[in-house]
Amino acid sequence: MCADARRKLAELIPGVSRETWGRLDALVGLLAKWQKAINLVGRGTMDDVWTRHILDSAQLLPLIPRDAKSLVDLGSGAGFPGLPMKIWSSAVALTLIESNQRKATFLREVIRRLEWNDATVFPGRAENFPGQAEVVTLRAVERFESALGTATRLLVPAGRLALLIGSAQVRRAQELGRVLSWQPAISIPLSASRVLLMGQRATLSPSCRPIDSGTLA
């Protein structure tokens, strides 16, 4: 494990149990095994998986409500940040949305190996996913603008959207996601350009707000 990544993880998540470290090691081991047959992560990042993927995912944890019960990871790919979030927050029910069938198979294998009965894979397009969640995560997906709209729809009222994106995408995300209240972007340690951007949906969507009787004819 990268020493800098380990130190940063310890700072973000004090008192991590031996079992949690073991699950993270198991995840990385499965990723390395499957990477030989499937291009799960960029070829240049596998050797740096703790920094580029585990540590990136860890940035979300302090910003997620401790009582959150549901999380959807949209365009999950190799399972980041959804799988590490589940490892650290075992009580949250996790749904990984991934339309690539080979990657979806990998995600199911991780879930099986880690013996989670409250984690599932939706092997289809996010636009067709029927549910919603208290927390939705989105990281480095294609067709970012379309994905952002879908991610917003998947939020329950007062739900939180967590984006792991390039700093150049922040302004566009804020422009497109006007129904969300955005926190300032947070730089990710050991990264020159990636940031965490968190937005929260209003308690009531505009279509659900009470009608002002003064506007009626």
pLDDT > 90? residue 45: no
Q: Which residue, 34, 39, 49, is CA-closest to 110? A: 34
pLDDT of 212 reads 32
Q: Which residue has the tokens 């996790």?
A: 94
Output the six-digit token pair for 121.
């894979």
Output the six-digit token pair for 138.
């989105």
Q: Which amino acid is at 51?
A: T
pLDDT of 98 reads 97
* Residues 82/104, Cβ–Cβ less than 8 Å: no
Name the 3-class secondary structure at 186.
Answer: strand
Rounded distance, CA 20 to CA 10, Å? Answer: 12
Output the six-digit token pair for 62.
């302090």
Q: Within its chain, how far is the Cα of 112 from the centroid?
A: 20
pLDDT > 70? residue 217: no
How high is the mean pLDDT of the chain?
87
C-alpha separations of 75 from 64, 153, 162 in Å? 19, 15, 13
- Evaluate the CA torsion angle 110, 112, 117, 122 in order and state its sign: positive
Kindly indicate the confidence band of residue 44, based on its pLDDT and cuts at 50, 70 and 90. low
Kindly indicate the confidence band of residue 203, based on its pLDDT and cuts at 50, 70 and 90. confident
Residues in the chain, total: 217
Of residues 135 and 59, the one with the higher pLDDT is: 135
pLDDT > 90? residue 141: no
Q: Where are the alpha helices (DSSP H) in the chain?
A: 3-12, 18-35, 49, 56-58, 82-88, 101-113, 144-153, 170-176
Task: Write the pLDDT tens digit of every residue in 23-36.
Answer: 999 999 999 999 98
Output the six-digit token pair for 4.
């800098």
Rounded distance, CA 200 to CA 189, Å? Answer: 23
Fold entry, domain 3-203: Rossmann fold (3.40.50)
Question: CB-based burial of residue 16 (10 Å sphere; 0-12 exposed, 13-18 middle, 19+ buried)?
Answer: middle
